[in-house]
Amino acid sequence: MGKGIALTAAQVELLIATWRQICVEEHLEGIYALLVETARRLTDAEHASIALIEEKKLKFVGSTRNDQASRGAIVVPLGAGIPGKVAQDGIGRRIESGDYISPVTRINAPPAPHLDNSSLACVPLKVRDEIIGTLQVYNRIGASKFDESDLEALQVLADHSSVTVERLRLQKNLLIESSRVRGIFQALTDGIMVVDTAGNPVLYNQAVESLFFPDGKQNYALATYISNVVRSGEASGSSEVVLLKPHEMILSNRFVTLPDASGKPAEVIVSIRNISDQRAIDRKYSQFYALMLHHHYQLVARAWKQRNPKKLRRLLRMQRESMRNLISLTELKSGPLRIERGNCSITDVYTKVRNLFDRSLKKSGLVVDDTGFLSHGQIAGRFDRGRMIQMFKTLFRQARRILKNGSRIIWSTITSAGHVEIFVSLEGAGVSERIQEDILDWNAQVDRIISGESSTLDLDLAFLGHVLHAHKGTITICRDSEDVVSIKVVLPLG
């Protein structure tokens, strides 16, 4: 209009009516429908459509064609086709009588073989010089082509409606984004809570509810904690809260104070994570380590005072075992147990360890029957040789510890489907009583010490469990009868 474009009275009336309708339309789809219909009527076109730029592509979002919905959303790259070119450089274009004359090069493009539209006019939708999409009309009714005045009338419509389109599109995106953020907020396993400067909850997610009402009872500790955070007046910080009684929970928290426009603290955002389980593991480990260290000191003190050489040797042997356990524990605490696999013959390792224990086993009056093991021939695989030696030593040591004179240790093995199964059967009077059911669970042993049920730890098999686990193997202990206990070790050969 600034260029002196003369609109007909009917066109002006149509545009004014359209703008009035745009002002009251709340839905983006309604605006699209309104715009394409107005564009069609404004230029006496057969059809009209609107396309918007989304992620560097032009997406056709509205059309006067009834079959548009069934055809699905059309998306073209920027620069492809007339609307793609308009969306790229913002210059309106036309096709006249099937021939496209480029406003950039002013030459005829080669005719398209199956062009449905004999004429087309396309203008950009712009918001503050930024192209947001295009508005186009197809096939003028009763005439072969759109002229310059059609293009400019269409541009008037586009210029006056593009801001509304963009505003509603942003609003729609904002609602989608807001809904997504709210979903994330609710789905967070960490509790997120916003409180005002008086400590009153403004907003919180579901995780907070479970922290505030564990087992349906109100957690006053959290309220007390929030009040502490608010009272501190700090801009940000972190803390750990141990709800020692009655909730027995450990919470890790971070908080940030948000200022209002004048810079005064307005809200405090607190994130709360329940770390009870992790801390329980750490605590257990610490207790365990402290207990073992305590026992170790006691052994050293007793050995230091001992004058009887036989008793001294016994104490030093116990001290050596205790030290070995402490080292294993330290090794486990430093991360997953590392193993160095290599080609290793289980049979050779067994024979070597068997020879080492031969004398002491005979001295203890224990009979070893390993024909079921050695008759199998060589069993080789990829194992950590040092750990395998540790495994056989542990099993022999355990057998020697719990079996009495005249008892039998029976070794046998089976190989199947890439695995080797090693069976150790300990047969002796009352052997079941001397091996705890939960010997593989060191935490249970610590619990028994704390509760005063037991005063000693027997950790060798528990540590062996970790060694086998590192090899992706397993160990199980079965009390077959009062006089028979069997230990089964399964190891992958590969």
Partner 1 sequence: MTQIKKYDRIRKYAFDEVLRLPSSLSEISKVRDRVGGKLEKLGYAPRLTMNVALALEEAMTNAIDHGNLMGQPVVEIGVTVNADCCILQVTDFGGITFNPEYFEKLAEVKEWGKGGRGIFLIKRLMDEVYYFFHPEKSTSVVMIKYKESQSASRAS
Q: Which residues bind partner 1 (CB under 8 A)?
A: 198-201, 204, 209, 212-213, 218, 220-221, 223-228, 230-231, 237-246, 248, 250, 279, 282-283, 286-287, 290-291, 294, 449-450, 452
| Minimum distance, C-beta of residue 74 to partner 1, in the bound complex (Å) | 46
CB of 234 to partner 1, least distance (A): 9
In terms of CB distance, is 175 or 450 closer to partner 1? 450
Nearer to partner 1, 276 or 474 (CB): 276
Closer to partner 1 by Cβ: residue 361 or 446: 446
**Smallest distance from partner 1 to CB 450, Å:** 6
CA 330 vs CA 334, 386, 455: distances in Å: 6, 18, 22
CA–CA distance, 166 with 325 (Å, rounded to integer): 70
Give 282 or 482: the residue with its C-beta nearer to partner 1.
Answer: 282
Contact in structure between 253 and 240 (CB atoms under 8 Å): yes
Alpha helices by DSSP H, 344-418: 346-363, 371-374, 385-402
What's the residue count for the chain?
494
* Paired tokens of 394: 């542990």
Give min distance, CB of 227 to partner 1, in A. 4
Q: Which is nearer to partner 1, 265 or 386 (CB)?
A: 265
Facing residues of 76 across strands?
A: 58
The residue among 201 and 372 lying less far from partner 1, judged by its C-beta, is 201
Tell me the DSSP string of 70-114. HH---EEETTSHHHHHHHHH---EEEETTEEB-TTT-SBPPPPTT
Characterize 376-407 residue by residue with b for buried, 16 or more Cβ atoms within 10 angstroms of its Cβ, and e for exposed.
eeebebebbbebbbbbbbbbbebbbebbeeeb
Q: Which has the closest alpha carbon to 196: 270, 100, 279? A: 270
Identity of the residue, 10 or 293, whose beta carbon is nearer to partner 1 in the bound complex: 293
Q: Tokens at residue 261, please?
A: 């426009």
Radius of gyration of the chain (CA): 41
* Shorter beta-carbon distance to partner 1: residue 247 or 387: 247
Cis peptide before 246 (omega within 30 of 0): yes
Take residue 208 and report the two structure tokens written for it.
């907070």
- Choice between 17 and 242, CB closer to partner 1: 242
178/228 with CB nearer partner 1? 228
Residue 446 C-beta: closest distance to partner 1, Å:
9
Q: Residue 211: which H helix or E strand, with range?
A: helix 206-212
Q: Residue 126: what residue type? A: K
CB atoms under 10 Å from CB of 47, counted, come to: 19
Question: How many CB atoms are located within 10 Å of the residue 274 CB?
Answer: 19
Is residue 257 within 8 A of residue 235, CB to CB? The reply is yes
For 347, the token pair is 């049979």
Residues 6+ apart with CB under 8 A from 219: 211, 212, 213, 243, 247, 249
Alpha helices in 306-335 (DSSP H): 309-333
Least distance in angstroms from the C-beta of 261 to partner 1: 24
Cα distance between residue 135 and residue 183, in whole Å: 36
Contact 137, 48 (CB under 8 A): yes
Q: Judge whether 295 and 314 are in contact, CB under 8 Å.
A: no
